């Protein structure tokens, strides 16, 4: 964790440097600092217009900046955010991914469990039943617990009834690298509603890694597009 904190601090400090701080050469003579500045500006962006800004780092610039651990790229169109997050903590079977300004996304096996710091966050969504279904690889039915805050800021628990369906193999591109995946669609409903609460899509590699997904992040955040970048 100390290494990750140091790296995050380095990225923040580098993004605040000016050309005058470089001792004359500027970023043109310092490709590593130029890469870090690019990453710092691209790891967390808040949109100001109709189209959210894009994550701007490349695999090459990540390597040049010394970032060798996985990066999670998240795009939340509903709130105009495109963000890259670094692996920060690994409690039990989950990964907490952290942005430069401290916002976090927690995943388990690539499946969204919660968000923190994005505004109307996803409090929690159970992942274990879906993980089991994905590991089996075929059609499945199961339930997941969703926990959210009601109008009085009290935690309310709802059980969602879900169906997972394989939809065939598909090659996906994640930051310039192609992966052969199995695409799955997940449809979840509440007991008292006919219309689905959400429809998620997952692209799972042969080793079980979810390289790309579109997952529901709660009634306010809507859908979040996730990509896992392994350098």
Give me the count of residues in the chain: 231
Separation of alpha carbons 217 and 34, rounded Å: 33
The whole-model pTM stands at 0.80
Domains of the chain: 69-229 (2.40.360.10)
Cβ neighbourhood burial of 68 (10 Å; 0-12, 13-18, 19+): exposed
pLDDT at 16: 35
Q: Tell me if 65 sits within 8 A of 207, measured CB to CB.
A: no
222: confidence class by pLDDT, cuts 50, 70, 90: very high
pLDDT at 54: 65
Considering 16-20, 33-37, 99-103, 181-185, the range whose residues carry the highest mean pLDDT is 181-185
pLDDT at 18: 32
Q: What b/e readout covers 139-156, taking b as 16+ CB neighbours within 10 angstroms?
A: ebebebebebeeeeeeee
DSSP per-residue codes, 112-153: EEEEESSSS---EE--HHHHHHHHH-S-EEEEEEEEEE-TTS
Mean pLDDT, residues 21-31: 43
Separation of alpha carbons 114 and 116, rounded Å: 7
Backbone angles phi, psi at 173, to 5 degrees: -105, 120
Backbone angles phi, psi at 134, to 5 degrees: -65, -35
């Amino acid at each position: 964790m100390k290494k990750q904190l140091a790296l995050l601090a380095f990225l923040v400090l580098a993004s605040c440097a000016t050309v005058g701080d470089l001792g004359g050469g500027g970023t043109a003579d310092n490709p590593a600092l130029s890469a870090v500045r690019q990453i710092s500006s691209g790891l967390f962006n808040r949109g100001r217009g109709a189209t959210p800004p894009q994550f701007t780092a490349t695999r090459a610039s990540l390597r040049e900046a010394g970032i060798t651990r996985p990066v999670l790229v998240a795009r939340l169109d509903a709130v105009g955010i495109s963000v890259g997050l670094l692996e920060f903590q690994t409690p039990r079977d989950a990964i907490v991914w952290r942005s430069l300004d401290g916002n976090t996304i927690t995943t388990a096996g690539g499946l969204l469990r919660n968000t923190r710091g994005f505004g109307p966050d996803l409090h929690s969504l159970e992942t274990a039943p879906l993980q089991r279904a994905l590991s089996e690889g075929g059609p499945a039915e199961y339930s997941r617990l969703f926990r959210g805050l009601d109008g009085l800021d009290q935690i309310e628990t709802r059980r969602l009834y879900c169906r997972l369906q394989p939809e065939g193999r598909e090659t996906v591109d994640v930051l310039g690298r192609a992966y052969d995946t199995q695409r799955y669609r997940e449809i979840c409903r509440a007991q008292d509603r006919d219309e689905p609460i959400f429809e998620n899509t997952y692209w799972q590699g042969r080793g079980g890694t979810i390289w790309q997904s579109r997952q529901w992040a709660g009634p306010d955040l809507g859908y979040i597009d996730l990509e896992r970048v392994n350098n």
